[in-house]
Structures are given as structure tokens and as C-alpha cells.
Amino acid sequence: LSFDSARKQYFITLVSMIFSLIIPVLINRVGFVRKLYWLFAIVGILALLVVTIAGNTSYGAKISLSIAGISIQPSEFVKILFVFFVAGMLYQDTSFQRVCVTTVIAAIHVLILVASRDLGAALLFFVTYVVMLYVATKKVLYFAGGLAAGSAASVVAYHLFSHIRVRVRAWQNPLAYIDKEGYQISQSLFAIGTGGWFGMGLYQGLPDKIPVVKQDFIFSAVSEELGGIFALCLIMVCFSCFLMFLNIAMQMKDQFYKLVALGLGTIYAFQVFLTIGGVTKFIPSTGVTLPLVSYGGSSLLSSMIIFAVIQGLYILRQDEGEINASKSRKNRQNRKKTTGFENADIEKLS
């Protein structure tokens, strides 16, 4: 782990926190956001197209843009717009025609990401849409169709993209290809094993031997220097955050915000699964960052925005509870004025 990188990340965190403080207020005050779903789709698709056409290539994929010397990864922010788009399309109307239109627009997002070879983000968008579609419609057929389409797409991607085959070979037997495609995952496993339960201590490990360790493989560096116990605690923190997302989603009465909370929770949980699963050889590496932990301004800012949106939904939920309690008190007072009795008194008399 690098002190210089940590200092830069700390500065990015401060800027992100200041920016994210505005979002809960907007969620609480701006009610017409649900009507802007077509705008979210258009902006998201255009941003992804710009990256596909003029983006910087990193490890075979076009994932970022350089603006005034600053590297920005638009897909990190488009995934949030994507959730708001799907929620806006499906929170009132879940007819077959509406589902077809939504699926086509969602497929355009995914196909653009596939064209830019950002397959990790494409998988993230696809899974998020399938989950939101199932919850909105409550139809198992859609969910089963999504799983079937995902399985078929995986087979096609394996035969279509050479770097997918390389990652699968590295995942199946990294030591057999340790000098080539298996080097990254082999060094990741060595780092996790070297750290043991208690770690080697800060700056005592050798995480620089792992390619892209600050972004995709940060969990390996954490395990090596801080130990397996700390790594397990980190997983538990991520899991508790996901439970918080689900809790807020289940308690929201507004279907639009319920879908938003569920979609953002799915993005967060699946991104954690892809990252940790990739570095521990549970699944092939997908090139996805670990939210709030991996180095990078776009990843950190988008994660802060997601949590800020959830905070805004929590405030909305609290306001809903206060409004319902106020209505209940008024109803009791009106009933007492009319009958002269409280509910409890009426029950006793009966």
C-alpha cells in the first residue's frame, strides 16, 4: 500500500463528500426526477458511445476519457443513471410492451459496453436490470429468461473475445500460466497466503508485484498487509451495507424509490462479489473495482453518490413515517370529537 496514493485518495474523498452532501437534499426536495428517465437513458448511452469512439484503451478495453489531464470513467456514473432510468420506466407500468421497450434500451447500454470490451461493467448492468425487472414485475419467467440470456451471452463472449479466453485459462489453472496470463491471479493468491490471519504490517508487503493492484486487486494488498481477519471484517462491512440497502428498499412505500434502492444495492453487492471473487480465484477476474476501497476518483465518487442517494431515501422514509403518524393522530382526534371515545374505549365497551 502506498502513502502517496492514500493521500491523493484522501483528497478525492473530501471532494466527493462535499459533493455528495447535496444529493440527499435533492432527493428529498426534487420530486420530478422520476419523470426524467428518458433523459437518463440518452445521457448514459451518449456517454458510453463517446468512450467507445474516443476512449483510452487499458488492458484491451476502452473504459476512460482524458479531460484536461484528468482520467474519468463514465461507466461508473452511467450505472447510477441506468438504475434511475429502469426505475422510472417500470415503477408504474409493467406491461409487456413497456418491458420490451425497457429491455431494448437496457440492451443498448450493455452492447455498447461489450463493443468497448468493458465486459465487467456490461455484466454489472445486465445483472442489475434482471433483478430490477423481476422485482418490478414479480414474474419468474422474466428472471428465468434473463438467466438464460446471460448464460448464452457468456458462451458467445468466450468464443468471440480472446481476452475472455485468456482470463478463463488464468482462472482455471493460474500456476500453469504463471509467466503469462496467470501471473496476476498467482501473485494475488501468493499475497493473500503470505499475509496469513494477522498480516505483515503496513508497507511490509509487496503488492506492487500484482498488476493493477490499486484498482482491481486492492483486496489482495489489504489481505497481505493487514491480514485475513481484517479482510473478513471488510467483507462483513460490505455485507452489512448491502443489508442496509435492502432494508431501505423493503420499507419504501414509493415503488420508484423502492426500485432505485434495490438497483443501487444490487450494483454495490455484485460489484463487491466480482472484485473479491476475482482476486480469490472464486470466479474469473472481471476488472471491476471494490467500492470505497479501490484507488480512483471515478470509482470513489460514484460510490459516494450511491450512498448519498440511499441516505436521501432514508430521510424520505423517515418523513413518510412521520406523515403517517401525524395522519393517524388526526384520525383519532376526529373520531374522538365525533363519538366522544378513543379506539381503546370503544373496544372495551364492545
Determine, yes or no, domain membership for 168.
Answer: no
Query: Is the separation of the CB atoms in 284 and 167 below 8 Å?
Result: yes
Higher pLDDT, 305 or 185: 305
pLDDT at 246 (0 to 100): 92
Tell me: do 218 and 291 sit in the same domain.
Answer: yes
- Percent above pLDDT 90 for the chain: 34
Amino acid occupying residue 269: A
Most confident of 19-33, 164-178, 292-306: 292-306
**SS3 for 205?**
coil
Predicted confidence (pLDDT) at residue 340 exceeds the cutoff of 70 = no
pLDDT at 187 (0 to 100): 83
Beta-strand relationship, 56-58 and 70-72: unpaired
pLDDT at 81 (0 to 100): 94
Residue range 306-328, pLDDT digits in tens: 999 998 888 887 766 655 555 66
Tell me: do 265 and 275 sit in the same domain.
Answer: yes
Tell me: do 103 and 87 sit in the same domain.
Answer: yes
Tell me: do 278 and 294 sit in the same domain.
Answer: yes
Determine, yes or no, domain membership for 301.
Answer: yes
Tell me: do 100 and 196 sit in the same domain.
Answer: no
pLDDT at 29 (0 to 100): 79
Tell me: do 60 and 195 sit in the same domain.
Answer: no
N-term to C-term CA, the chain? 72
Predicted confidence (pLDDT) at residue 200 exceeds the cutoff of 90 = no
Tell me: do 92 and 23 sit in the same domain.
Answer: no
Determine, yes or no, domain membership for 152.
Answer: yes
Residue range 111-134, pLDDT digits in tens: 999 888 888 889 999 999 999 999
Predicted confidence (pLDDT) at residue 157 exceeds the cutoff of 60 = yes
Average pLDDT of 329-348?
59
Determine, yes or no, domain membership for 338.
Answer: no
Please give the distance of CA 337 from its chain centroid, rounded to a whole number.
52
Q: How many CB atoms lie under 10 A from the CB of residue 226?
A: 20
Residue range 251-277, pLDDT digits in tens: 888 889 999 999 999 999 999 999 999
- Percent above pLDDT 70 for the chain: 87
Of 136, 160, 184, the domain-final residue: 160
Confidence of residue 344 (pLDDT cuts 50, 70, 90): low
List phi, psi (to 5°) of 67. -125, 115
Predicted confidence (pLDDT) at residue 210 exceeds the cutoff of 90 = no
What DSSP line would sit under 170-184, residue for residue? HHH-GGGGTTTTTHH
Determine, yes or no, domain membership for 261.
Answer: yes
Tell me: do 136 and 63 sit in the same domain.
Answer: yes
Average pLDDT of 160-167?
82
Confidence of residue 2 (pLDDT cuts 50, 70, 90): low
Predicted confidence (pLDDT) at residue 12 exceeds the cutoff of 90 = no
Which pTM was predicted?
A: 0.86
* Cα separations in angstroms, 21 against 24, 120, 199, 310, 318: 7, 29, 35, 12, 18
Of 107, 130, 160, the domain-final residue: 160
Determine, yes or no, domain membership for 64.
Answer: yes
Predicted confidence (pLDDT) at residue 24 exceeds the cutoff of 60 = yes
Total tally of structural domains belonging to the chain: 2
Tell me: do 25 and 40 sit in the same domain.
Answer: no
Residue range 164-198, pLDDT digits in tens: 888 888 888 888 777 777 788 888 888 888 888 88
Please give the distance of CA 320 from its chain centroid, rounded to a whole number.
26
Domain of residue 95 covers 31-160
Q: What whole-number distance in Å separates Cα of residue 25 and Cα of residue 111?
A: 34
Tell me: do 117 and 6 sit in the same domain.
Answer: no
Tell me: do 178 and 155 sit in the same domain.
Answer: no
Determine, yes or no, domain membership for 328.
Answer: no
Residue range 57-108, pLDDT digits in tens: 776 677 878 777 778 888 899 999 999 999 999 998 889 999 999 999 999 9
Tell me: do 230 and 144 sit in the same domain.
Answer: no
pLDDT at 214 (0 to 100): 75
Residue 14 CB contacts under 8 Å (≥ 6 apart), including other chains:
none
* Cα separations in angstroms, 43 against 57, 84, 233: 22, 12, 38
Amino acid occupying residue 129: Y
Mean pLDDT for all residues in the chain: 83
Determine, yes or no, domain membership for 131.
Answer: yes
